[in-house]
Amino acid sequence: MSPGRRVVVTGIGVVAPGSMGREGFWEMLTAGRTATRRITFFDPGRFRSQVAAEVDFDGRRLGLTAHEVHRNDRFVQMALVAADEAVADSGLPLGSGADDAPDPERVGVTLGSAVGATMRLEQEYVAVSDAGTHWLVDPRYASRFLHHALVPSCGATELAVRFRAQGPATVVSTGCTSGIDAVGYGSQLIEDGDADVVLSGASDAPISPISMACFDTIRATTGNNDDPEHAARPFDARRDGFVMGEGAAVLVLEELEHARRRDAEIYCEVTGYANRCNAFHMTGLRPDGTEMAEAITRALDQGRTDPDEVGYVNAHGSGTKQNDRHETAAVKLSLGPAAQRVTMSSIKSMVGHSLGAIGSIEVAATALALQRGVLPPTANYEVPDPECDLDYIPNTAREQKVDVAVSVGSGFGGFQSAIVLARPSRRTS
C-alpha cells in the first residue's frame, strides 16, 4: 500500500426498483416506500415465490444506443446507466477527451455481479433448445452476442470503453457480497497506487425463471405472495425469506488529493474494507456471526475506527430467518456495548435483494445517509423478534447526523464483507 493514499466517493449513480436515478432512489428510501410487487416479467404462477422488486427500465430512453441495448444483457445496461449518472455527478469529464479529463491510464473499473447475464443466457437458451426440447442446441437460433453473455467480464469492458478507462479493470463475482467487494477492490486499486479514479459498483438482473426456481427449491425467497408490498420483512418476527430484486449502483472513487485539487464535492471517505469466509456451508449460517464480526472488526481497524464511533449500520438484512439473526449477533460481537446504541436498517425491505448489485446500492444509500444526515428505515417492521433486538429504524426515516457508518453483506459461498464510510468533515479536512 502506498502510505497516505486515501479514497473518497465523489459520484453516485443508482438504478433501483420503484424510482428513477439517485435522487428518486433516495426520495423513495426516506419515504419508506416499497417497490416489491407481483412479478410482471413472466407469469410466476407456477413458482413458489411470485414477488420481486422490478425496475421499470428502458435502456434506450435512458441514453443507451440501439447497439448497446442489442448486444448487452440487462445487467450491463443497468450498469452503464448507473455509471453515466455517477460520472456526471462527479463532474469528471471521463471519456470526453476534454483537456481536464483524468489521465485514462489512471482510471480503473471494478464491477460486481453475482450472476452476470443470466437473464439473457436463459432467454437465448429457450430459443436455441426450443424451450428445453433439444440438448444439442441449434445454432441457427443463436444471437450473435452469446459470447458476450457467457463471459460477465463484458460488463467491465463496456464501462472501460464508454469512459476510456485504461487502468486495471475487472468484474468481481463473489455472489451476494460482490457489490461491497467491488467497492472494496476499487478502493484497494487507489490505495495501492494503481489508479487515481475507479468506477466501482455492481449490477444484477436475476428476475428470471431459472433464478426464481433455484431459490424456490431451497426456500430462500418469500412465500408471502398475497401481500407483495409488504413481502420483505427484515428483522421482523414474521419474515420468511428475501424478495428478489434487480438494479445497479456505480460510485466514482477518487484519491483524496486528486479530488481536492479539483475542488470536488465529497460524499464520504472509504476508510476500511474487509471480507472473510465462514468456511461452514454454501447457504447456511452459524447463528453466532463470528466471521462477519471479524470482517467488521478488520474493516474498522483499517481506518483505526473505534466501535463507539459507528453511528449507523446498513444491514445485509435479507429477511431470511437465519440471516437476520446471524447479522444481529455479528454486530453485537463486533461493536460490543456500542451495538446497543447503534442504528441499523435494511433497505432490502424496500428495494428487494438484487444479489450482487445490492451491496453497491447499499453502499450508495449509506453514502447518501452520511452526506444528508438522514437514515433510511427498515420498512414492514411490526413484530419484534426476540433474537433481533437492536434499533432497526422501524418504518420511518430518521434525521440523525452520523460520522461513521458500516455497510455489511453476506452471501452464498460463506462470504462476509464489511465496508466503513466516514463523513468527509471528520477526517478529510
Partner 1 sequence: MTGLLVTGLGVVAPTGVGAEAHWSSLLREESAIGPIEGFDPTPYGITLAGQVRDFRPEDHVDSRLMVQTDRWTWMSLAAATLAAEDAGYAAPEDAYATSVFLAAGSGGNEFSQHEIQGLWAKGPRSVGAYQSIAWFYAASTGQISIRDGYKGPSGVVVSEGAGGLDSIGWARRVVRRGTPAVLAGGTEAGMCPYALLCQATSGRLSTATRPEDAAPPFSRRAAGHVVGEGGAILLLEEPAAARARGARRVWGEVAGYGATHDAHHHEDPAPDPAQYARAIRLSLADAGVAPDEVDLVVADGAGTPRLDALELAALGAVFGRRTTPVPVSAPSSYTGRLMAGGSALDVATALLAVRDGIVPGTAHLDDPVDVPAGVELVRRPRVQPLSTVVVLARGSGGFNSSLVLRRAPEGEAA
- As annotated, the active-site residues are 176, 316, 353
> Interface with partner 1 by CB under 8 A: which range of 227-235, 268-276, 316-324, 365-373?
268-276
Residue carrying C-alpha cell 447456511: 284
- Residue selected from 277, 304, 382, 389 as contacting partner 1 according to rule CB under 8 A: 277
Single out the residue of 22, 148, 398, 423 in contact with partner 1 (rule: CB under 8 A): 148
CA 295 to CA 416: how far, in whole Å? 7
Among 291, 324, 362, 385, binds partner 1 (CB under 8 A): 291
Residues 163-202 that bind partner 1 (CB under 8 A): 163-175, 178, 181, 185, 188, 192, 194
Distances (CA, A) of 373 to 30, 179, 231, 330: 11, 23, 28, 25
Among residues 21 and 289, whose Cβ is nearest to partner 1?
Answer: 289
d(CA 74, CA 223): 26
Site string for partner 1, 297-326 (x = CB under 8 A): -----x------------------------
Q: Give how many residues touch partner 1 by CB under 8 A.
A: 90
For position 46 contacting partner 1 by CB under 8 A, the verdict is yes
The yes or no reply on residue 228 touching partner 1 (CB under 8 A) is no
The number of beta carbons lying within 10 Å of the beta carbon of residue 54 is: 22
Q: In the complex, what is the shortest distance from the CB of residue 300 to partner 1, in angstroms, rounded to a whole number?
A: 14
**Could you say which of 31, 69, 88, 137 contacts partner 1 (CB under 8 A)?**
137
Which are the contacts of 306, defined by CB distance < 8 A and separation ≥ 6?
Answer: 300
Binding to partner 1 by residue 278, rule CB under 8 A? yes
| Chosen residue from 20, 41, 88, 129 binding partner 1 by CB under 8 A | 129
In sequence order, the β-bridge partners of residue 79 are none
DSSP per residue, 204-249: E---SHHHHHHHHHTT-B----S-GGG---TTBTT--SBPEE-EEE
Taking CB under 8 A as the binding criterion, the range among 10-18, 116-124, 311-319, 320-328 that sits at the site for partner 1 is: 116-124
- Only one residue has cell 477527451, namely 97
Measured CA to CA, the distance from residue 328 to residue 299 in angstroms comes to 17
